[in-house]
């Protein structure tokens, strides 16, 4: 399908929400009365998250009033049916809330469960980039807030040794944290460079443009990866998504060249922990 209109709407929504977030960049929200914690004290949501999500919802509704918008903060679930915009208004809220500039706005469109459009916008001047893709049209990155993007593609690095791999340390439960640590430790033993910067959407975009090589997360939600999956696939990357034990998603994403090794490592380590 031609998703050019949907892509333009997503770009507009992401940049308008990004402008809202950028106005508050560098602010410490941890003691703000309107900042709440979700699963734990290090899993935050701010008033800016809510404002950004509302702006994104409004922009989408102007052009596609019959479409469903699923946001991290509106607590509605992904159905996998029809046209669903899956939104994380600020992916990396804990970073944003403390003034650390690794966060983004993430907007993905799925039609009957299939990713069609993905936009990830980093409004902070530390990155100031937008990654975007529409199914079948390739992936692109625009720098310094320019509108025209350049094509991007994944790296060709083909071994775990020397690969840059993002990992996630769970903020939800000790059970997941133990598995996350086991995976990260095994990656380090395989001489991977392991990083945990704190934004799933940005992590996947770093893989898409060749800045990193892989990402392993054992428990994650749809809004964290909906946009990044489209961008990564269009850039030539690989993406395995399956149900985790708590009903969330387990995701292994990479440049494709290390995908098999990553999957085998995760399956072995996680399998051993649950045997």
Same domain, 262 and 185: yes
Question: Of 151, 180, 211, which residue constitutes the final position of a domain?
Answer: 151
Contact between residue 202 and residue 166 where contact means Cβ atoms under 8 Å apart: no
Same domain, 101 and 38: yes
Whose CA is closest to 115, among 104, 128, 106? 106
Same domain, 168 and 146: no
Q: Taking the alpha carbons of 173, 174, 177, 179 in that order, is the dihedral positive or negative?
A: negative
Give the separation between CA 22 and CA 76, rounded to whole angstroms: 26
Give the separation between CA 60 and CA 77, rounded to whole angstroms: 18
Specify the DSSP class assigned to residue 241.
Answer: E
Tell me what the mean pLDDT of segment 58-73 comes to.
Answer: 92
Same domain, 57 and 185: no
Question: Would you say residue 158 lies in a domain?
Answer: no
Give percent of the chain with pLDDT exceeding 70. Answer: 84
Question: Would you say residue 56 lies in a domain?
Answer: yes
Same domain, 175 and 96: no
Confidence at 143, pLDDT banded by 50, 70, 90 = confident
pLDDT in tens, 2-39: 789 999 999 999 999 999 998 887 776 655 545 544 44
pLDDT number for residue 33: 41
pLDDT number for residue 168: 86
Question: Of 151, 184, 210, which residue constitutes the final position of a domain?
Answer: 151
Same domain, 106 and 224: no
Question: Would you say residue 104 lies in a domain?
Answer: yes
Contact between residue 97 and residue 30 where contact means Cβ atoms under 8 Å apart: yes
Contacts of residue 206, defined as CB under 8 A and 6 or more positions apart, other chains included, come to 166, 212
Confidence at 128, pLDDT banded by 50, 70, 90 = confident
Residue with tokens 């990866």: 225
Confidence at 150, pLDDT banded by 50, 70, 90 = very high
Q: Is 56 annotated as a binding residue?
A: no
pLDDT in tens, 88-100: 999 998 888 888 8
Same domain, 216 and 88: no
Same domain, 221 and 268: yes
User: CB 184: neighbour CB atoms within 10 A?
Assistant: 21
HSE value, Cβ hemisphere, 13 Å, CA-based, for 6:
24
Q: Is 224 annotated as a binding residue?
A: yes
The overall longest dimension of the chain from CA atoms, in Å, is: 51
- Parent domain of 83: 4-151
Among 43-52, 57-66, 151-160, 225-234, which stretch is predicted with the lowest mean pLDDT? Answer: 43-52
Give the separation between CA 244 and CA 170, rounded to whole angstroms: 13
pLDDT number for residue 145: 57
Tell me the CATH number at 238. 3.40.190.80
Question: Would you say residue 9 lies in a domain?
Answer: yes
Tell me what the mean pLDDT of segment 94-117 comes to.
Answer: 93
Question: Would you say residue 159 lies in a domain?
Answer: no
Q: Is 90 annotated as a binding residue?
A: yes
Same domain, 13 and 143: yes
Q: Is 51 annotated as a binding residue?
A: no
Question: Would you say residue 156 lies in a domain?
Answer: no
Same domain, 120 and 12: yes
Q: Is 143 annotated as a binding residue?
A: no
pLDDT number for residue 251: 95
Same domain, 89 and 203: no
Q: Which residues of 90-110 are buried (b: 16+ CB within 10 A; e: fewer)?
A: bbbbbbbbeebbbbbbbbbbb
Domain count, the chain: 2
């Amino acid at each position: 399908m031609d998703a050019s209109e949907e892509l333009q709407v997503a770009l507009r929504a992401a940049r308008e929400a990004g402008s809202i977030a950028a106005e508050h960049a560098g602010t410490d929200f941890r003691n703000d009365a309107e900042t709440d914690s979700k699963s734990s004290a290090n899993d935050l949501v701010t008033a800016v998250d809510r404002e950004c999500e509302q702006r994104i919802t409004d922009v989408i509704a102007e052009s596609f009033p019959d479409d469903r918008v699923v946001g991290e903060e509106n607590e509605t679930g992904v159905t996998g049916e029809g046209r669903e915009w899956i939104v994380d208004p600020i992916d990396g809220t804990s970073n944003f809330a403390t003034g650390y500039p690794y966060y983004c706005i993430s907007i993905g469109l799925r039609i009957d469960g299939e990713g069609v459009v993905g936009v990830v916008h980093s409004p902070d001047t530390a990155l100031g980039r937008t990654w975007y893709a529409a199914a079948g049209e390739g992936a692109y990155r625009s720098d310094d807030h320019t509108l025209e993007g350049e094509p991007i593609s994944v790296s060709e690095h083909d071994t775990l040794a020397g690969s840059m791999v993002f990992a996630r340390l769970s903020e939800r439960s000790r059970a997941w944290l133990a598995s996350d640590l086991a995976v990260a430790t095994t990656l380090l033993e395989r001489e991977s460079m392991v990083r945990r910067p704190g934004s799933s959407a940005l992590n996947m975009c770093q893989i898409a443009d060749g800045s990193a090589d892989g990402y392993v997360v054992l428990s994650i939600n749809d809004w964290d990866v909906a946009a990044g999956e489209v961008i990564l696939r269009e850039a030539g990357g690989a993406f395995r998504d399956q149900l985790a034990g708590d009903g969330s998603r387990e995701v292994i994403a990479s440049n494709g060249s290390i995908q098999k090794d990553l999957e085998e490592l995760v399956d072995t380590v996680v399998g051993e922990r649950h045997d």
